[in-house]
């Protein structure tokens, strides 16, 4: 998500930290800031917008500092603004903190700290950490080791994910860093050291890096790095030599952003679930903001979106109907606004968009609001138009997505839809046993996605066989039919092969005439209730000499007519679309790579469609 850089050494620290921050601009951000020592404490300079605005703000500032930390923010808590930009100080201005991740218990921490007299200047979760450290510092002038222990004690109170960097007038030319779940690396130089949230930021100066692991806390000085755990015990991390070129570095060593973002999906799902599943297996959506009375008035749901987000809505339609037993429709946004939509004050209009700037979706929201319908946006970008104008917002936590063909944002949308469906169902009296079953399955998803990613080599080999096909059909029933739409879109977007999703039972009503040896049929078989029917449909394809790839759960038998098999972990029927999409995204990627297509920037397409 956000970007962190820092420097300790003899170079101009502020200039170096900001220069390195520019190497993380590809990640996307909405504000930037830098902190460095000043005679009276710590000086913080922040700006909403791009790094260029930050550079203009620091031009007149003293640049003699030999330690600095800098940050680009992708908003999660609070709108994009100068006040919410990082770094964040304590009350006295003695320290500054930058942070990537989400502090789940920030609300209770803020409440306690406010009651103790701490003054907050932002809406962020991060600022609570600055005040927690301040609270743990003794009176007087603490030594660097005492300061480090205060950071450890503060982090022991935090629930959630973090990569942090802290500077203070008590540390001199040193930085304290720590990580849990969010990445953080240290670049090793000669009488100087660098820190960053991603390797590309330090590659202009060094190729020797330490990759911190969960629970690591480090004191970075110009001539040494000391790593310990939150318990104070010393730890050892071996240096890694990075031999990527600069372009590969931005992609984390992956050849394309799309592949990198597919491999980020386990973390994306973890981040979207984080703070929303309680210890008692209940679902909470504290950031949405609808009251119990507003939820109670809802009698039906209308899902509106475009492209990939619309396909997420097709899955959401089935899930919401299954759990709520209320009518749900899914509409393409460009059709919704011209169709005299039947929405009213008892209809929740649910709008889905990665960017929050999709023109047709914004127009549909405004039409729904004009008709009195309450609106809820599932969106990835804090401060986007959709997030600002909708009555309520459920944020996904996919972070910036660079590849035009959406991957991790789609999984985040499916995860958010599942959370919403469970939240509404539990409030409507969902049996506890069923709720716990769903929550347990949600908690298992990140590791199961990692298992799907382990199939990459096999999928690449299959793709080499299928890349010459002239046409692809994606067949499915129920949830699999909804998944088929997104799978077909992924392939056509980046490989330029005609691909079409079809309800498997409809093949015999016309499309079967198109089946021949040069046509590939991807049979999605993740739903046990329709498995036998799907096997019959694939036999019909094979009888016409089509090439069949079956994607099925590991707990169902394989059809004997399949030329290729891909198995995914078993989960609840409603969650299978999340797991199934991972190998299907990889299939599209590797087919496009075999064909030599420009994967990250396919022809004629844009990442955010801001015109009708």
**Domain locations in the chain as residue ranges:** 3-250, 260-451, 455-594
H helix intervals, 454-507: 456-466, 479-495
All residues at 6 or more sequence positions from 392 whose CB lies less than 8 Å from its CB, including other chains? 288, 289, 290, 374, 375, 376, 377
Adjacent-strand bridge partners of 551? 524, 566
Q: What is the mean pLDDT of residues 28-35?
A: 89
The pLDDT assigned to 580 comes to 98
C-alpha–C-alpha distance, residues 197 and 289, integer Å:
32
**Which H or E run includes 388?**
helix 385-389
Across the range 147-153, mean pLDDT stands at: 95
CA 610, CA 358: separation in Å to the nearest integer? 5
pLDDT at 470 over 50: yes
User: Please, what CATH class does the domain formed by 260-451 belong to?
Assistant: alpha beta
306 counts as catalytic = no
Query: Could you give the CA distance from residue 589 to residue 494 in angstroms, rounded to a whole number?
Result: 7
Q: What is the pLDDT of residue 611?
A: 47
Domain 455-594, CATH class in plain words: alpha beta
Three-class SS of 235-294: CCCCCEECCCCHHHHHCCCCCCHHHHHHHCHHHHHHHHHCCCECCCCCECCCCCCCCHHH
Task: Round to whole Å and give the CA distance between 334 and 360.
Answer: 5
- Residue that is written with structure tokens 């942090």 in the block: 164
Neighbours of 496 (CB within 10 A): 14
Q: Tokens 């998803």, residue?
A: 445
Q: Is the pLDDT of residue 529 over 80?
A: yes
| pLDDT score for 383 | 72
Q: How confident is the model at residue 506 (pLDDT cuts 50, 70, 90)?
A: confident
Mean pLDDT of 186-194: 96
Confidence of residue 543 (pLDDT cuts 50, 70, 90): confident
How does DSSP assign 496-543, residue by residue?
A: --EEEEEEGGGGGGTGGGG--TTEEEEEEE--GGGHHHHHHHHHHHHH
Give me the pLDDT at residue 606, please. 67
In the chain, what's the furthest Cα-to-Cα distance? 83
Specify whether 607 is catalytic.
yes
Residue 145: pLDDT over 60: yes
Query: In the structure encoding, which two tokens stand for residue 257, read together?
Result: 């952003």
Average pLDDT over residues 59-79: 83
Angle at which helix 432-453 crosses helix 576-594, to 10 degrees, equals: 20
pLDDT tens profile 320-344: 999 999 999 999 999 998 888 999 9
Is 609 or 392 the better-scoring residue by pLDDT?
Answer: 392
Dist. CA 414–CA 429, nearest whole Å: 23
Q: What are the residues facing 81 on neighbouring strands?
A: none
Radius of gyration of the chain (CA): 25
Per-residue pLDDT at 560: 84
Give the rounded percent of residues in the chain with a pLDDT score beyond 90. Answer: 71
Give the Cα separation of 244 and 207 in Å (integer): 9
Measured CA to CA, the distance from residue 585 to residue 415 in angstroms comes to: 17
What percentage of the chain carries pLDDT values higher than 70?
Answer: 97
Q: Give the per-residue pLDDT at 252.
A: 80
Distance between alpha carbon 228 and the CA centroid of its chain, in Å? 29
For 411, the 3-state DSSP assignment is: helix
Place of tokens 């972070």: 399
Quote the mean pLDDT of the chain. 92
Q: What is the pLDDT of residue 79?
A: 81
User: Is 3-250 assigned to CATH 3.60.20.10?
Assistant: yes
Instruction: Give the residue among 258, 355, 271 at the shortest CA–CA distance from 585.
Output: 258
Say how many CA atoms lie within 13 Å of 340 toward its Cβ. 0
Tell whether the model's pLDDT for residue 63 goes beyond 70. Answer: no
DSSP letter for 325, please. Answer: -
**446 Cβ contact partners less than 8 Å away, ≥ 6 residues apart:** 266, 267, 269, 270
pLDDT at 251: 83
Is the confidence at residue 8, as pLDDT, over 90? yes
Helices marked H in 277-384: 292-296, 307-324, 333-336, 359-370
How large is the average pLDDT for residues 176-186? Answer: 91
At residue 1 the predicted structure's pLDDT band, cuts being 50, 70 and 90, is low
Asked whether this chain's domains 260-451 and 455-594 adopt the same fold, the reply is yes
Q: In whole angstroms, give the CA distance from residue 51 to residue 184.
A: 21
pLDDT at 559 over 90: no
Residue 272 tokens, joined: 């979207």
Question: Which of 25-34, 247-256, 436-445: highest mean pLDDT?
Answer: 436-445
Q: Out of 50, 492, 533, 607, pick the active-site residue.
A: 607
Q: What confidence category does residue 166 fall into, taking pLDDT thresholds of 50, 70 and 90?
A: very high
Residue 529 has a CB neighbour count (10 Å cut-off) of 9
Q: What is the pLDDT of residue 293?
A: 86
Give yes or no for a contact between 92 and 135, defined as CB atoms under 8 angstroms apart.
Answer: no
Per-residue pLDDT tens for 287-328? 888 888 888 899 999 999 999 999 999 999 999 999 999 999
For 593-606, what is the mean pLDDT? Answer: 89
Mean pLDDT of 186-208: 92
């Amino acid at each position: 998500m956000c970007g962190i850089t820092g420097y300790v050494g003899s170079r101009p620290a502020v200039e170096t930290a900001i220069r390195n921050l520019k190497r993380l601009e590809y990640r996307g951000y909405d504000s930037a800031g830098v902190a460095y020592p000043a005679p009276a404490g710590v000086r913080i300079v922040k700006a909403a917008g791009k790094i260029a605005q930050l550079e203009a703000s620091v031009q007149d500032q003293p640049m003699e500092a030999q330690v600095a930390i800098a940050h680009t923010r992708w908003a999660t808590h609070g709108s994009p603004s100068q006040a919410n930009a990082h770094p964040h100080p304590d009350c006295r201005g003695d320290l500054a903190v930058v942070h990537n991740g989400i502090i789940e218990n920030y609300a209770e921490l803020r409440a306690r700290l406010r009651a103790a007299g701490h003054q907050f200047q932002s809406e962020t979760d991060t600022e609570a950490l600055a005040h927690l450290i301040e609270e743990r510092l003794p009176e007087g002038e603490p030594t660097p080791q005492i300061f480090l222990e205060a950071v450890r004690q503060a982090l022991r109170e935090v629930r959630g994910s973090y990569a942090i960097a802290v500077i203070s007038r008590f540390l001199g030319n040193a930085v304290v860093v720590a990580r849990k779940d969010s990445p953080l690396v240290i670049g090793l130089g000669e009488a100087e050291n660098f820190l960053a949230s991603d390797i590309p930021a330090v590659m202009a100066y060094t190729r020797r890096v330490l990759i911190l692991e969960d629970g690591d806390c480090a004191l970075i000085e110009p001539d040494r790095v000391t790593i310990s755990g939150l318990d104070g015990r010393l730890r050892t991390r071996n240096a890694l030599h990075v031999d990527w070129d600069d372009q590969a570095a931005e992609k984390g060593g992956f050849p394309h952003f799309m592949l990198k973002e597919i491999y980020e999906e386990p973390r994306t799902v973890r981040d979207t679930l984080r703070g929303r599943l309680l210890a008692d297996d209940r679902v909470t959506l504290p950031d949405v903001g609808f009251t119990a009375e507003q939820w109670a008035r809802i009698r039906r749901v209308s899902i509106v979106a475009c492209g990939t987000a619309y396909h997420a809505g097709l899955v959401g339609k089935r899930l919401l109907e299954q759990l709520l037993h209320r009518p749900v429709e899914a509409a393409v946004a460009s059709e919704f606004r011209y169709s005299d939509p039947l929405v009213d004050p008892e209809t929740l209009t649910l709008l889905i968009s990665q960017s929050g700037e999709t023109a047709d979706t914004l127009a549909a929201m405004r039409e729904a609001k004009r008709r009195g319908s309450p609106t809820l946006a599932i969106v990835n970008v804090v401060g986007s138009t959709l997030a600002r104008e909708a009555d309520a917002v459920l944020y996904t936590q996919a972070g910036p997505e660079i590849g035009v063909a959406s991957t991790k944002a789609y999984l985040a949308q499916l995860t958010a839809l599942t959370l919403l469906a469970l939240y509404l169902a539990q409030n409507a009296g969902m049996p506890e046993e069923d709720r716990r079953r769903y929550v347990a399955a949600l908690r298992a998803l990140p590791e199961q996605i990692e298992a799907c990613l382990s199939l990459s080599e096999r999928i690449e080999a299959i793709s080499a066989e299928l890349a010459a096909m002239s046409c692809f059909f994606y067949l499915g029933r129920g949830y699999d039919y909804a998944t088929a739409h997104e799978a077909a879109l992924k392939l056509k977007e980046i490989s330029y092969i005609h691909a079409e999703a079809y309800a498997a039972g409809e093949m015999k009503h016309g499309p079967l005439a198109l089946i021949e040896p040069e046509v590939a049929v991807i049979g999605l078989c993740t739903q046990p209730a329709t498995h036998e029917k799907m096997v019959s449909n694939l036999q019909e394809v094979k009888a016409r000499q089509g090439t069949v790839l079956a994607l099925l759960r590991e707990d169902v038998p394989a059809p004997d007519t399949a030329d290729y098999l891909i198995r995914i972990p078993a989960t609840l029927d409603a969650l299978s679309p999340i797991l199934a999409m991972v190998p299907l995204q990889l299939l599209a990627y590797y087919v496009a790579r075999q064909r030599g297509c420009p994967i990250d920037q396919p022809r004629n397409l844009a990442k955010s469609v801001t015109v009708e």
